[in-house]
A and B are shown apart, each in its own frame.
Chain A
Amino acid sequence: MSLVASHAPVLAIIIPLLAAPVCAMLRGTTFPWFLTTVISALSFAVSVQILLTVSDTGPISYMLGGWAAPWGIEYVADPLSAFVMLIISGISTGVLLYARESIAKEVPPHQLGLFFSAYLLALAGMMGITVTGDAFNIFVFLEITSLSSYVLIAMGEKADRRALTSAFQYLIIGTIGATFILIGVGLLYMMTGTLNIADIASRFDAIADTRPVRAAVAFLIIGIAIKLAMFPFHVWLPNAYSYAPSIVTAFFAGTATKVSVYLLLRFIFTIFGAEFSFGVVSLSELLMPLGVIAFLSMSTVAIFQTNVKRLLAFSSVAQLGYMTVGIALASEAGLTASILHIFNHAIVKTGLFLSVGCMVFVAGSAYLKDLEGIGSRMPLTTFGFVLGGLALIGVPLTPGFVSKWYLVMATLERGDFLGYALTAGMLLSSLLAVIYIWRVVEVAYFRPAPADAEAREAPLSLLIPTWIFIIGSFYFGIQTTVNVGFAEKAASFLMGGL
């Protein structure tokens, strides 16, 4: 046990990373899935341990290769990274419980070993980005995540060949984003001579007022914004989410963009520092309008979608807008709301995508025209979707309400006209969410099912994990001490820590 405790930060990453090649060698349909699920659960257990340790004793630093930073690569688990690691591995494990029967329909049996290997690599990559304390190491793990996600998205091609073009589009845009991050890291390295995040941060103030640093800020923010699908760099996301296999969409919806939000927080608060980011280069004036446009325009666009997966994907871009606004408020309250929304939205959106996955499993399509009367054909699944929809809109007693409440409090805290305008905008966006969720509800309950459609519920192996997420989201909507507590801790660490 002491081995686990003293090496926890690196174990959370190397367990999935080393299981990936093993998984690639496995044949059969059940075994690769089983191994992946166990590994993901192990990684989750380690993440829980890390979060508990960090909340007790403060940030953990781990020197890879035994070399002291900044010469070697350092891993740092602090309240923020530990919380995000918990979200990633938790979502991944929940989605995997669902995966076995779902993926069997979408990927040929002889490819399952390689498919789950790619899944593990994506998981390890995201965990690695979160815990690393080295700017270049971020790029390496970002690329592991990206390359495996291009592959996973392309695996949707058996159902729809457009999965190929969306994977390609994501590959082009994602590589440009990652290269922008690489240029930004290079500029910072050029000015500071180091790649260690804490070391860059400590040398940052001396060089903050130079042109290469300003360019570095621009390249890093834009590169991360592309990866984050922040408006107007979001074009790849709806395509990728619509055509990827159901479990891939559910997994990425809960994790991939959240990791990018984490990176944004890490660079803005830990490296640049709040004072520089909001005082000197006034990032608020850039991020705030983008966030507002994102949640207003993307909620509107979502209303006009005919494919439920695509509708939810646009809704994700809108929700990312809330997180952006929370960051742009540059206050501890706004930051808390943003981090809380990472957690709450991850669990709600994953539940929603899983319930759509159930519909696709039975009805064979996510288009609204094929889901008419699905409410009577699949009562449990559809009810789950409706509950998830309520949580997304932000009805009281749901997590969506809790994080929006915190965000509204943070905007009103400003006490100026902008604060009220933002509150009004968020209310409007929630109304738009009511409309797009209602469109699905209307088709599901108020249109007659086609005469030849059989009434069949999704198998239990799909229903149970879906409901775990739905019930879980209500649990965290009512019993908010856990998620709010960790989010507050992370926010106060970011504002005061450095």
Chain B
Amino acid sequence: MEQFTDIFLMLLLVAGALSVLYVRNLFVATMLLGAVSFIMALIFVSLDAVDVAFTEAAVGAGISTVLYLGTLALVGSDEKPARRRALVPLLVSLLVGTALVYATFDMPAFGRADNPVQTHVAPRYIEESPKEIGVPNMVTSVLASYRGFDTFGEVTVIFTAGIGVLLILSQLRRRREDEADLTDGPDTDTNMDNDAAASASPAERVGSEHDLVPHVVAKLLIPFILLFALYVQFHGDFGPGGGFQAGVIFAAGFILYSLIFGLHFTRQIVSTRLVKFLLALGVVLYGGVGVVSLFLGGNFLDYNVLSADPVAGQHLGILLVELGVGITVTAAMIAIFYAFAGRAEGRGNDIN
């Protein structure tokens, strides 16, 4: 039975992908992509990858969709009919596909316990990690400890995306504003926000002022969203979750707040300067744990030396690095949202 559910979902995946290709309206295409991500998350659950499913649902179906919608609001959602010949792309895709299908026939069969993937490196994680690290969720053990350096790279990737979007979207729009910026100086964050609230017409502002129902519902929901994010952050050792998922959910709470109550109010709570600080702080915290372990005589990111008892050290290390991940991810998501939403207000220059 389970197998047929999987097959059905995967066929749905293909159908979704094909309709993404053919639909002309970009808004619909974005929604379909979100649906594909969500179906993918369901398949991941049935493939035992609960952490990945959680992340894919939060990121692929959540944050990515928000980003696409934000972009569509700025650039319009109609796609012109293709004028390009599709023959070469078709041939290239078919060639790549054929190469892979050719490869599949020699691949180890799906689901067998004697595949090389299951017998060589993985058994150590499954058998030893509860003893060596003392964390029930093996994904967390591998992610934060055995392959902790990959995750440090991952935090850096998110940090790069955060500063990259800030750099690209804070480019001034017109020459005229160039001069205005010079006279304003750097410390005009708050003035500008007040200024925005005073001068922007309601239509220009992000968020709706008149809808009572969203206001009430959001007020009820947001505390629970933030609470849930904290639960995911600190419960990642025992169940699916961890810094990355928590950061995304935490940021989602703020994004919801901005959408309902306006960007201006959110900026009063969390200023752009603070977001930038947090963005950097998470990376420094993660790397800092590594540096501390260097000075305590271990290798970089060796948590065993953080405490007299290696298992306690592992716990402490994982807690701290997951916190670093959570902080940077939250800050990066908020920064990216600010950058896009700030652009929508037509005030690209107040991001920095």
Direct contact of A and B (CB under 8 A): yes
Binding site for B on A (CB under 8 A): 3, 7, 10, 14, 17-18, 20-22, 24-25, 27, 62-67, 70-73, 108, 110-111, 114-115, 117-118, 121, 124, 128, 134, 136-137, 140-141, 143-144, 147-148, 150-151, 154-155, 157-158, 183, 187, 189-195, 203, 207, 210-212, 214-216, 218-219
> Taking A64-B301, A191-B116, A214-B103 as contacts, is the C-beta distance between A24 and B276 under 8 angstroms?
yes
> Closest CB-CB distance, A14 to chain B, in whole Å?
6
Given contacts A121-B156, A195-B121, is CB(A65)–CB(B148) below 8 Å?
yes
Beyond contacts A10-B300, A24-B276, A144-B157: 14 other A-B pairs, Cβ-Cβ < 8 A, are A3-B294, A10-B299, A14-B291, A20-B159, A65-B146, A73-B149, A111-B352, A117-B163, A140-B150, A143-B153, A155-B167, A211-B105, A214-B103, A218-B99
Partner of A110, one of B122, B145, B186, B280: B186
Interface residues in B, total, Cβ within 8 A: 66
Interface residues in B130-158 (C-beta closer than 8 Å to A): 145-150, 152-154, 156-157
Q: Give 12 A-B contacts (CB < 8 Å), ordered by A residue.
A: A3-B294, A17-B152, A24-B276, A65-B300, A114-B163, A121-B159, A136-B150, A137-B153, A147-B157, A151-B168, A193-B121, A212-B106
B334 at the interface (CB under 8 A from A): no
Which chain A residues border B107 with CB–CB below 8 Å? Answer: 190, 211-212
Which of B23-31, B245-253, B282-290 lines the interface with chain A?
Answer: B282-290
Whether A21 touches B283, Cβ cut-off 8 Å, given contacts A7-B294, A71-B125, A73-B149, is yes
| Measured CA separation A43–B32 after assembly (Å) | 46
Given contacts A66-B298, A191-B116, A212-B106, contact A22 B121 (CB under 8 A): no
For chain A, what secondary structure do more than half of its interface residues adopt (helix, strand, loop), or is it mixed? helix
- Flag if B153 contacts A151 (CB, 8 Å): no
CB contacts (< 8 Å) of B302 on chain A: these are 65-66
Contact A66 B304 (CB under 8 A): yes
* Closest B residue to A111 using CB positions: B167
- The proximity string for B residues 68-112 relative to A, scoring 1 for CB distances below 8 Å and 0 otherwise, is 000000000000000000000000000000011011111110000
Q: How far is the CA of A156 from the CA of B321 in the complex (A)?
A: 35
Q: How far is the CB of B33 from chain A (nearest CB, A)?
A: 16
CB distance from B119 to the nearest CB of A (A): 6
- A140-B150, A148-B164, A151-B164 as given contacts; A63 in contact with B299, CB under 8 Å: yes
Contact A190 B168, CB 8 Å, known A21-B159, A71-B124, A136-B150:
no
Residues of the B chain whose Cβ atoms lie less than 8 Å from the Cβ of A193: 115-122
**CB within 8 Å: A-B pair count:** 175
Q: Within the assembled complex, what's the spacing in Å between the Cα atoms of A176 and B252? A: 29
**Residue among B117, B152, B153, B178 making CB contact with A189, cutoff 8 Å:** B117
**Assembly CA distance A270 to B150 (angstroms):** 22
Hey, which chain B residues are within 8 Å of A22, CB to CB? 280, 284
CB closest residue in chain B, given A137: B150
Chain A residue nearest in CB terms to B277: A25
Task: Name B302's closest neighbour in chain A (CB-CB).
Answer: A66
Q: Contact at B146–A72, with CB atoms within 8 Å?
A: yes
B168 shortest CB reach to chain A, Å: 5
Taking the closest CB of chain A, its distance from the CB of B170, in whole angstroms, is 7
Any A CB within 8 A of the CB of B160? yes
In angstroms, how far is the closest chain B Cβ from the Cβ of A330? Answer: 24
B279 proximal to A (CB < 8 A): yes
Contact between chains at A147 and B160 (CB < 8 Å) = yes
Complex contacts, A157 vs chain B, CB 8 Å:
171
- Docked Cα-Cα span, A141 to B149, in Å, equals 10
